[in-house]
Amino acid sequence: MSTRESNWGRWGESDEKGALNLLTQESVLAALKIPRTGKRYSLGIPIQRSGVPNMEYRGTPQRLTMINHDDEAMAQANGGVPGVGAHEDQLVMPSHTSTHMDALCHVYSDHKIYNGHPHDGVSPYSGADKCGIENVDPIVGRGVLIDVAAAAGVDVLPAGHVITREELRHALDVQGVALAAGDLVLIRTGWLEEFMRTQSELLPQPGIGIDAAKYLAECDVALVGSDNSAVEAIPFDQDVYLGGHIVLLVDNGIHLVENLDLKELASDKCHEFLLAIGALNITGGTASPVTPVAVG
């Protein structure tokens, strides 16, 4: 367990990668030995206008079909024949859409983002000048599912439930799994499954509390994801706005992945796996939609 209060300066004063520095060639090679069945799990949810947890203030994702290119004039003008053409889309959506990864520039506290970089180095066209999502290299490592709902004997945790460090430890004990430095930790509350099934209200949501976030940072994990919309509980624990984000993103440089589909992993009791995540290379981006893939 780490005794550090934060990771600022740990990998140098100019660092913009945060805890992803813990992913080494050696740790990747070790993670490649984890899969036993070869079963692949897609952990992302669809990007669409409705039926998924879209936060209204961010705007609805738009997938717009462009001109249908199979009209006769277009085909003939380009050397084609009638009946030959193509379909294309235009995507207009928030970067924090559906299953997505928060960049380290996403949240700030005391006017600072991770590693003490100023919070105001952002502009409408250039985005963030520090800690943007383009700093995220391909993520490959040991994934660990902490199924808090299953350990509590329920399908879904109560709305607004704040997960404690003791609950995380209990779930790990039940699963017979121990955390190690550089782990990619995914936390299951059961909330997303319930939402997708019932199309219930978005808020409130269960999630980790501030002390649970500190516990994960003490374990020196490289990334934290969850099957809810903020990783942390909403309403926020102890009435601290974005308190869990501050502990993980700002203080410790631990990237967050939200709205994960963990149902199949949980059903198979696949608690350890190879996990791979690739973020879109968006210069200055505060987040990126992702489709994490686990191999059990």
Cα(153)–Cα(146) distance, rounded to whole angstroms?
13
Question: Is 131:104 a contact under the CB 8 Å cutoff?
Answer: yes
Please answer whether residues 96 and 286 qualify as being in contact, where contact means their C-beta atoms are separated by less than 8 angstroms: yes
The pLDDT of residue 129 is above 90: yes
Examine residue 204 and say whether the peptide bond preceding it is cis (omega within 30 degrees of 0): yes
Share of the chain above pLDDT 90, in %: 90
Q: What is the mean pLDDT of residues 11-22?
A: 98
Band (pLDDT 50/70/90 cuts) for residue 117 is very high
Alpha-helical runs (H) found in 6-131 = 25-31, 72-77
Give, in order, the Cα–Cα distances in Å from 106 to each of 3, 84, 174, 228, 293. 25, 45, 34, 17, 23
Alpha-carbon 282 to chain mean position:
16
Rounded distance between C-alpha atoms, residue 88 and residue 34, angstroms: 39
The topology under which CATH files domain 18-55+94-295 is Glucose Oxidase; domain 1 (3.50.30)
**pLDDT digit string, tens, across residues 212-242:** 999 999 999 999 999 999 999 999 999 999 9
Mean pLDDT score of the chain, rounded to an integer?
95
Cα 274 to Cα 34, 173, 190, 214, distances in angstroms: 6, 20, 22, 24
pLDDT above 90: residue 146: yes
- How many other β-carbons are positioned within 10 Å of the β-carbon of residue 199? 12
pLDDT at 69: 62
- Distance (Å, rounded) from C-alpha 261 to C-alpha 239? 27
Q: What is the pLDDT, as a whole number, of residue 3?
A: 75
Residue 63: per-residue pLDDT: 94
Report residue 71's pLDDT band, with 50, 70 and 90 as the boundaries: low
Query: pLDDT per residue over 176-205, tens digit each?
Result: 999 999 999 999 999 999 999 999 999 999
Q: Which segment of 70-74, 153-157, 225-229, 281-285 scores lowest on mean pLDDT? A: 70-74
What's the rounded mean pLDDT across residues 55-82? 80
Enumerate residues 6+ apart whose C-beta is below 8 A from 227. 186, 187, 188, 189, 190, 191, 192, 193, 259, 260, 261, 262
Q: Is the peptide bond before 46 cis (omega within 30 degrees of 0)?
A: no
What's the pLDDT band for 2 if we cut at 50, 70, 90? confident
pLDDT at position 79 is 77
Residue 99 pLDDT > 70: yes
Residues 192 and 53: beta-carbon distance below 8 Å: yes
How far, in Å, CA of 139 to CA of 176, rounded? 25
Average pLDDT over residues 268-272: 98
188 CB contacts (<8 Å, ≥6 apart)? 145, 146, 147, 148, 149, 150, 226, 227, 262, 265, 266
**Taking phi first (over 0 means left), then psi (-120 to 50 degrees means alpha), and beta for anything else, what does residue 185 get?**
beta
Lowest mean pLDDT of 73-77, 142-146, 291-295, name the range.
73-77
Is the pLDDT at 80 greater than 80? The verdict is no
From residue 145, how far is each of 70, 123, 250, 294 by CA, in Å? Answer: 47, 37, 23, 11
Q: What residue ranges of the chain are covered by domains with CATH 3.50.30.50? A: 18-55+94-295
Length of the chain: 296
